Amino acid sequence: MDEYTIPLAQVKKIVEKSEAVGAEEVTFSFVIGSLFPEAYDKMKNVLLKERLAGYREAVEELKNENSRSS
């Protein structure tokens, strides 16, 4: 897998803008979303798919448990 890269100037710009508004902290999603928007979108999509898969699995398990106890 190729690594995502960006110019260091972009990182400096984020830091400068954050400092200009008096921010003492920034969120992970802000940093990744600002610097690597495609990667951030991919991560969100993968997490959503995994969450949905877990939900579907739980629903199926409940159906199986209910059919066994009937």
Domain boundaries, the chain: 8-69
Round to whole Å and give the CA distance between 70 and 65: 9
Q: What is the pLDDT of residue 67?
A: 86
**pTM across the whole model:** 0.68
pLDDT tens, the chain, 70 aa long: 789 999 999 999 999 999 999 999 999 999 999 999 999 999 999 999 999 999 999 999 999 888 887 6
Residue 31: burial class (beta carbons within 10 Å; 0-12, 13-18, 19+): middle
Burial track 38-69 (b if 16+ CB lie within 10 A, e otherwise): eebeeeeeeeeeeeeeeeeeeeeeeeeeeeee
